[in-house]
Structure 1
Amino acid sequence: MMGIFLHSCNAPEDIIEVLARIGVSISTTSINDAITNLSKESSTALRRLGKTLTTSFAYDNVDIELKHTVPTLEKPHETLVHLTSGTFIPLDHGVVREDLDCSQELWQRSPMNADRSAVEPPINEDELLQLHPETLEHPTGLLRSGRFNAWVFRRDLIQHGPPFFRRYLKELGKPEVVEQIPVVRSSQVPAKMMDISQSTPQGNGDALADLFRQVNVGNPTEKGCNEVTDVKNYVVLVHGDLLTGERIQSFQASRRIEKTPWRRNQFIIYVMGLFHLKMACADAIWRICIFPKAARNDPSSLIAFVGILRKKETAKIESKPGFRRMHEVIEHVGVVSRLDCWKVLASKHYIVLVGQCKS
């Protein structure tokens, strides 16, 4: 174990040999043999996982700066190496292979298909509200969104309001469950690091081809692919950031005139993560409420609250705040705004109550 750790830390060979001689670690040769055996076991596990065809792919870029790289004629001073890391995530929650047997059906409706049989109507925002329609009338008289907002008010009051309300923390509970996904212990199998830069659509295509090669999934009719697991009519879910999704779709668009589903990559279905959706929402709020100069003129604008809460960071937030800073701005401004609403409403009730007592 110590030898594997030293290898992962890129420890110098001299240090490894010294530690091996005093019995703390194993020799460099033994470490290399162990790495080779682990690689073989990993390759076998990946192929076994690929046969199930119920595995999603996830990958992202990895930038490593190698300050001691040897300059070449093509890259005389390049020290930043662009790689791609990936992982394979088995689909849980009772997903079976037949659930993914819909590649051709989706292709018939895809906008990339020039000969598609049906044109899907655009999705209206009102249709999204019907994903979880209201059922019975609630005793509070509030809709589901109103009940959630009420819970958020109580949470802020208990956690950030006057100390008196801390006593009700145990009674706060959780938000109302609409459709809960069962919590399971997920697993993943890391992919081999790929010497591929995914900064272009073609780079993403190369990364996906390498991932399919690692799990031995492909089209048996292709040259040199006789022993691969046939993807057939199944789709493969691929996860990545939003820019990765755009490049995957661009890569698929460039291949849409190919004759076979495998060469069209029509079976690849990009699925964004909830974290990236959250990033997109934070960026949208910044572009609407902060970036336009006209949005900063109102005394109750978002940037006005930022000037109170984060006075030294106003210029940074106006120009390029980044996700984490913008996320904190949204959270903190929301908390103080809700507490201020409670203060105003409580003051009005107090004034009315005092007036009734005097009368």
Structure 2
Amino acid sequence: ERDLKFTQALWETSEYNENATNVVQPEFAHIALRPEDSWMANSNADRSIYRYFQWLVQEILVKHGGFDEFSDHLGEPFGIQVLPSDKKDVQYPGMSIDADEGTYDGNAEVIENLLDQAAVATEDLESYVELFHGDLATKECIEGLKRMRTIERTARNRLSFLQFVPGLFHMKMAVADAYARVHVTPVANRTEKLGVNEYLNYLRPKATAEFTSKKGPSFRSMHDTIHHVTWTDILASGAIEAQQLFKFDSLAAFKESKPKWTQLVELSEAIINNHLPGID
């Protein structure tokens, strides 16, 4: 309950509030307002983003680098505020709504209708945020509605209680699209040394025509390519670090030496520290 009680704090830092003294973009509002709750805040914590990347690198080494014997050591990635397995969630399906979600007015109608169906009190919205899911077009409409309602006095009318949370699939679509715009679409980047096209020539030669076509690659092709390029870079980085740490010429030679799990962990840490940007 405490985690959702920050509607007022959101409004005080909102870009739509002309009296705001310290504007925080909505995507980072929770981290800025409650930094002690952020799993990304402490790079040394067991559940930090560093530890997640460490698990991811280890997974790539185990599943794609030939270290299958360590599958049992790998385990599962950690969860954030995982619900207990013995707790049953209660869901209340909403009634269908006759509204055009392609318009601002239609989205406003949907929001009001859902609040009415859930019997959410207007005064509660002054304190508690409501998490709202949808695609990026829905987010654009919600932000547009907020811009139109900055002079309203209540959180309900301003929609300042709404905290938009994109669905994982839509987030992956946005990331894949951003990757394509930077690394695939620009013609000049197609001859880049160790660029995506060079990787494609070796990893997926039959897909080269799709990536250089006017239409561009499908989401699935783009998604698979991102995975394949990432695996390749991690394994190449692993070969470099295996030579630096253990004096082996390749990952295959390192594997033949029958390393211990602790050595593979050491290798993953070296890959993160020396080859991944943005990790302190």
Q: Which has the higher strand share?
A: 1
Task: Supply the distance in 1 between the matched residues of 2:109 and 2:12 (Cα, whole angstroms).
Answer: 25
Is 1:168 aligned to residue 64 of structure 2?
no
Task: Supply the distance in 2 between the matched residues of 1:247 and 1:216 (Cα, whole angstroms).
Answer: 23
Tell me which residue corresponds to 1:88: none
Task: Supply the distance in 2 between the matched residues of 1:306 and 1:197 (Cα, whole angstroms).
Answer: 42
Tell me which residue corresponds to 1:205: 108
Q: Amino acid of the residue matched to residue 110 of structure 1?
A: S
Secondary structure at 1:195 match in 2: coil
> TM-score, normalised to structure 1's length?
0.54
Task: Supply the distance in 2 between the matched residues of 1:132 and 1:320 (Cα, whole angstroms).
Answer: 38
Do the aligned partners of residues 148 and 349 (structure 1) sit closer, same or farther apart at CA in structure 2, a change above 3 Å counting? farther
Secondary structure at 1:330 match in 2: helix
Root mean square deviation, CA, Å: 3.6
Tell me which residue corresponds to 2:117: 214
Is 1:321 aligned to residue 217 of structure 2?
yes
Is 1:330 aligned to residue 226 of structure 2?
yes
Tell me which residue corresponds to 1:56: none
> Could you tell me how far 1:188 is from its partner in structure 2?
2.5
- Identity among equivalent pairs (%): 31
Is 1:180 aligned to residue 76 of structure 2?
no
1:303-337 deviations in whole A, cap 9, x for unaligned? 22123333333343344434333221111122233
Q: How does 1:105-254 map to 2 (within 5 A)?
A: 105-114=9-18, 116-120=19-23, 131-135=40-44, 145=50, 151-162=55-66, 165-174=67-76, 177=78, 180-184=80-84, 185-217=88-120, 219=122, 231-254=125-148
Q: Does the CA-based 8 Å contact 1:295-1:301 persist in structure 2?
A: yes
Task: Supply the distance in 2 between the matched residues of 1:216 and 1:144 (Cα, whole angstroms).
Answer: 38
**Count of residues in correspondence between the two structures:** 233
Q: How does 1:1-359 map to 2 (within 5 A)?
A: 96=1, 99-114=3-18, 116-120=19-23, 131-135=40-44, 145=50, 151-162=55-66, 165-174=67-76, 177=78, 180-184=80-84, 185-217=88-120, 219=122, 231-318=125-212, 319-342=215-238, 349-350=248-249
Do the aligned partners of residues 204 and 160 (structure 1) sit closer, same or farther apart at CA in structure 2, a change above 3 Å counting? same
> Could you tell me how far 1:183 is from its partner in structure 2?
2.9
> Could you tell me how far 1:301 is from its partner in structure 2?
0.7
Question: Which protein has the larger Cα radius of gyration, Structure 1 or Structure 2?
Answer: 1
1:178-232 deviations in whole A, cap 9, x for unaligned? x73223454432212222221122221111122122223354xxxxxxxxx8645
1:56-75 deviations in whole A, cap 9, x for unaligned? xxxxxxxxxxxxxxxxxxxx
The gaps in structure 1 that reach 5 residues or longer are: 1-95, 220-228, 354-359
Do the aligned partners of residues 103 and 154 (structure 1) sit closer, same or farther apart at CA in structure 2, a change above 3 Å counting? closer
1:67-100 deviations in whole A, cap 9, x for unaligned? xxxxxxxxxxxxxxxxxxxxxxxxxxxxx2x654
Q: Does the CA-based 8 Å contact 2:104-2:145 persist in structure 1?
A: yes
> TM-score, normalised to structure 2's length?
0.67
Task: Supply the distance in 1 between the matched residues of 2:114 and 2:8 (Cα, whole angstroms).
Answer: 22
Task: Supply the distance in 2 between the matched residues of 1:157 and 1:230 (Cα, whole angstroms).
Answer: 49
Do the aligned partners of residues 317 and 343 (structure 1) sit closer, same or farther apart at CA in structure 2, a change above 3 Å counting? same
Do the aligned partners of residues 188 and 325 (structure 1) sit closer, same or farther apart at CA in structure 2, a change above 3 Å counting? farther
Task: Supply the distance in 2 between the matched residues of 1:234 and 1:202 (Cα, whole angstroms).
Answer: 24
Task: Supply the distance in 1 between the matched residues of 2:164 and 2:53 (Cα, whole angstroms).
Answer: 32
Task: Supply the distance in 1 between the matched residues of 2:114 and 2:41 (Cα, whole angstroms).
Answer: 36
Runs ≥4 residues deviating over 6 A? 127-130, 344-348
Secondary structure at 2:15 match in 1: coil
Q: Which has the higher helix share?
A: 2
